Amino acid sequence: MKNTFKASAVLLIFLLTIDTPFALHATGDILRDKLLAHLQSIVDTSDAVVGIAAKDLTSGEEFFINENEIYPQASAIKIHILAELYRQAAEKKFSLSEIRPLPESERVGGSGVLNELGRNTVSMSIRDYAVLMIVLSDNTATNVLIDLVGMDNVNKFLGGLGAQKTRLQRKMMDYKAAAEGRENIGTPKEVLMVLEKMYLGEISGRAASEDMLSIMRKPKPGPIRSGVPATVDVANKEGEIEGIRTDVAIVYLPGKPYAICVMAKYLLHDEDGPRIITDVSSAVYSYFERKANSNEYGRRIPR
């Protein structure tokens, strides 16, 4: 009887030490676990290889699936060219307002508009080439900027940031280089890191980072954009080549801005890529939006 009483007393004392913060932490984990399970289900039920990286840029909360897998980035690689362009401009190697004629040798097909314009009639600022590269994903503008900044310099810049697996290895529309295995590659986690540094103003200073993001925020479609309400700003760059679909973005959710990268490879049906990315985007947005607009007990209180 005495031992039973002692055991009961010890149990009672233990239960009394479990305070409210512990309970709140457990409740928060349930919502997080639900998102992780949802994301894993999207990945597992697709017939592609999907990688996800997402991070709350205020709290640092992260979500990763296949984040270190290497993927062809397609046109998402262009954000790294943009970053190196601004880095060199900050070092006074050229001015972004400097007018440059379009070299006829750089014209290539695919996305964009420059290849459709008149021969020997096009001149524009370096920044305008950057705008076309990001907003219209103009391949000709991209090749002009690769020649300007240098492919090796882009990769050196990425290595300096700690992005060891992310590499620019060919110009746009260079099928021979792609067939030889020289693909433009990256991992969801490394690209997320570049986006975060851009958001924090750690790439060539606050003004340069904000100008880069202002270009990326210009309205354009994309599967991450499709998973977010139209009233929320998105700074994104998508990419698409055969069997590949990527989209990387900063979503300016009020109170909880976040970065997100979704990459898919080995797609049997190219149309599946946007659906997968939009499903991921919608799930991540729903999670962070509820966190931003609920109190610590889960009651919804829009800010």
- For 207-217, the pLDDT digits (tens) are 999 999 999 99
Asked if residue 213 is part of any domain, the answer here is: yes
Asked if residue 181 is part of any domain, the answer here is: yes
Q: How many CA atoms lie within 13 A of 115 on its CB side?
A: 18
CA distance 285 to 104: 43
Residue 269 sits in which domain range? 25-292
Q: Is 276's pLDDT higher than 90?
A: yes
Asked if residue 183 is part of any domain, the answer here is: yes
Average per-residue pLDDT for the chain: 89
Give pLDDT tens digits for 104-139.
Answer: 888 887 777 888 887 888 899 999 999 999 999 999
Predicted TM-score of the model (pTM) = 0.87
Per-residue confidence (pLDDT) for residue 286, from 0 to 100:
97
Average pLDDT over residues 181-198: 95
Least confident of 4-18, 67-81, 207-221, 276-290: 4-18
Asked if residue 157 is part of any domain, the answer here is: yes
Asked if residue 117 is part of any domain, the answer here is: yes
Give pLDDT tens digits for 134-164.
Answer: 999 999 999 999 999 999 999 999 999 999 9
Asked if residue 9 is part of any domain, the answer here is: no
Asked if residue 12 is part of any domain, the answer here is: no
Which CATH number covers residue 211?
A: 3.40.710.10
Number of domains in the chain: 1
Residue 201 contacts by C-beta under 8 Å, 6 or more apart in sequence?
A: 209, 210
Asked if residue 29 is part of any domain, the answer here is: yes
Q: How many CA atoms lie within 13 A of 264 on its CB side?
A: 28
Residue 266 contacts by C-beta under 8 Å, 6 or more apart in sequence?
A: 47, 48, 49, 243
